[in-house]
Amino acid sequence: MRILITGGAGFIGQHVAVMLASEHELVAVDSLNAQVHQHAEAAVQRFPGQVVIADVSQASTWDALPGFDVVVHLAAETGTAQSMYEAGRYRAVNVEGTRLAAAAAASWGAALVALSSRAVYGEGRYECRRHGTRFGARCCPQAEAAPSREEDPHRPVSVYGETKSEAEAILAEYAAAIPVTVLRPQNVVGFGQALHNPYTGVLAAFLARLREGRPLSVYGDGSATRDFVHVDDVARLITWCIDHPGRLGSLRVLNCGTGERTSLTDLARFAAAAAPVASAPVEYVDVGRAGDIEHAVASLEGLRSAGAPLPRMSSEQAVADFIGRSWGLPGADSEAWDVALRELRQRGLTS
């Protein structure tokens, strides 16, 4: 098959391409944004197929493309905090880019697999003995965070989350014409993710600090939780969706995570344990960033019901793999994350 991968030269796209290259003809469309691609030429060379350097939010990009059998739509702006002050750019790429991708896929009669985000859930699901199930906020101290399910309502708290929610609504409109699957990954980690971009991913910051012997900075008291899923497990699920397209008439939505809740303190501990140097202490920074949430974890019941592949790596294993394989690679100094935090403070986006 001829498969188009938007954002194909990026972190997840490269892993998907490796899994597909032996059996399919691949083309990537990627803007090669300098914030993500510090070495753009190397990224192009790694992709096992043609790379079209273009912006998915421009209609001219799609007008110039031939037809494809499958579209894997990964291209997106992904920095939660940055989205709060770069809203126009995020909406252009994440919303208009998705609209154009879906329209092109429909015109070609191509199946579509698109990445959304766990950010659509916002604070997600809480279960309370007194008040029952609540979404988006803890109703009282008795409420306990619970795994988010695909049918849960959207309660995004960031512009990034809003754009992903709006993009899903667009994709639902096209599901009557072509098979459309939406995947909602949790925090994706692994070899190849940007080590110089301070606007996405706490693990790259931990890696930089470990290499410099600095304490690992955790924002808040460390009790906030996330679900860290390895990029190969995400890529494996995407390839499964290509081989098992959704049915016409309804949008298929699947979570993508480990189903394991990992606190930020535990995350720091996992990272330190995987480093080939003496463990650095953890320091807690009393700050909250706009768009941050307290808890996130995926329910995997949807994957099980669909017969889709479950993750092979635990969150701890995913973190260890990232630290071990990324240790000797170039990346930004840890000061880059300090600068990004100061920028948010100057913009009034911290508390």
Q: How many CB atoms lie within 10 A of CB 273?
A: 12
**3-class SS letters over the chain:** CEEEEECCCCHHHHHHHHHHCCCCEEEEEECCCCCCCCCHHHHHHHCCCEEEECCCCCHHHHHCCCCCCEEEECCCCCCHHHHCCCHHHHHHHHHHHHHHHHHHHHHHCCEEEEECCHHHHCCCEEEECCCEEEECCCCCCCCEEECECCCCCCCCCCHHHHHHHHHHHHHHHHCCCCCEEEEEECEEECCCCCCCCCCCCHHHHHHHHHHHCCCEEEECCCCCEECEEEHHHHHHHHHHHHHCCCCCCCCEEEEECCCCCEEHHHHHHHHHHHCCCCCCCEEEECCCECCCCCCCCECCHHHHHHCCCCCCCCHHHHHHHHHHHHCCCCCCCCHHHHHHHHHHHHCCCEC
| Environment class of 262 (CB within 10 Å of its CB; exposed 0-12, middle 13-18, buried 19+) | buried
| Catalytic machinery residues | 160
Specify the residue for token string 């931990």. Answer: 206
d(CA 241, CA 185): 14
Write the CB contacts of 349 (distance below 8 Å, at least 6 apart in sequence). 81, 84, 85, 289, 290, 291
